[in-house]
Amino acid sequence: MKKILVVDDAKVVRMVVSQILKRNGYQVIGEAANGREAFEKYKALKPDAVTMDITMPEVDGIQGLKDIIAYDNQAKVIMISALDQRDALAEAIRHGAADYVVKPFEDDRMISALHEIFGDSTPVEH
């Protein structure tokens, strides 16, 4: 079972993302509320992938992504953003994000992004 770290400053969003992941056979091994926390938890928990919001207080998702990729250039990070953050998404991809999901997202978009980065061609069985 793939282990995922969920990063978003909004607790409700972390909860929604976690529920989607769990329903689809992923294990949520941790949560973080900003990029600094995400980096610390990444080092401690060694997740298989990270879902990372872009806009967060203190340390944003782009900096969190940069820190994680600098630490582990094989890290799989899926950025989550609002529609009006196209420039930030482009920057995230340039800095090594594996994929991105735009809010509000459908469950299957999040899951298909994870299948893509893990190279899974078939959906997870329920």
Task: Check residue 83 and give its pLDDT.
Answer: 73
pLDDT tens by residue, 21-51: 999 999 999 999 999 999 999 999 999 999 9
| In the chain, where the domains are located | 3-118
Q: Read off the pLDDT of residues 94-117 as tens digits, 9 standing for 90 and up.
A: 999 999 998 888 889 999 999 999
Q: Which top CATH class is 3-118? A: alpha beta
In angstroms, what CA-CA distances link 120 with 34, 111, 114, 125?
Answer: 29, 10, 8, 12
CA distances to 1, 27, 104, 115 from 59, rounded to whole Å, are 29, 25, 22, 28
pLDDT higher than threshold 70 for residue 125: no
Mean pLDDT for 44-67 is 97
